[in-house]
Structure 1
Amino acid sequence: MKINPDQEKPIFIQIAEGIEDGILTGAFPEGSQIPSITEFSVNYKINPATALKGINLLVDENIIFKKRGVGMFVSNGAVKQLKEKRQNQFYNNYISNLIEEAKRLGFSSDDIIAMIERGFSQ
């Protein structure tokens, strides 16, 4: 996971997304423990409150859960939940804008599909 303090995206969001990426790639399997707040703050040289804020975003979404006195763990079903979340974000951030512009330019759905297929074959 990389944290870029110069990026417009807040660091706590970068922490949450980095953990999400780790869950999706299998670095943090469901049921496994994630690094502690202290580990995040020391490894990335950030304030522990910032790390906690990022982790709490995932706790609020039931992606991870706390075991009092033990640490934070990846919830069962987290991968499925994250895939659905990311697919919705992908649609909202990219596909809906693509469709709007395609309509303005007079493209048909077949034209768009052909362009996407061309992009995948390159």
Structure 2
Amino acid sequence: MTMNAVLVFIPMPGMGHFLSMVNVAKLLMDLNSNLSSAVLFNNLKSNPTVSAEFDSIIATTASARIKFINLPPPPFDKDVPLFKSLANFGRSQKPSIVEAVTNIVRSVPGSPQLAG
């Protein structure tokens, strides 16, 4: 089976966003067999229980059609309030996201189209 399009999901840090994005990716791939997905995430490993949940979801979900890429942790400044740090999250992750997406498209045989 040839995959024609790749969907990239980038949830905010935290289990709630991660799990929701994984479920949306699975649903969309069930609806269209020509889709594959990549979930770019940050397992900040600040909480061993949450980290184990990430590992469990990845172990039971990863396949040829869904890949998980753990991005490097964003540079959080402990002197900046959390809501401001999260507001800058996407901007601070941009170089890692661009690199990961470039690698995804290059690494899949047949150079799939980035669908979203």
Judge same fold: TM > 0.5, yes or no: no
Larger Cα-atom Rg: 1
**Structure 2 length-normalised TM:** 0.29
**Structure 1 length-normalised TM:** 0.28
Higher relative contact order (CA 8 A, sep 6+): 2
Q: Which structure is higher in helix share?
A: 1
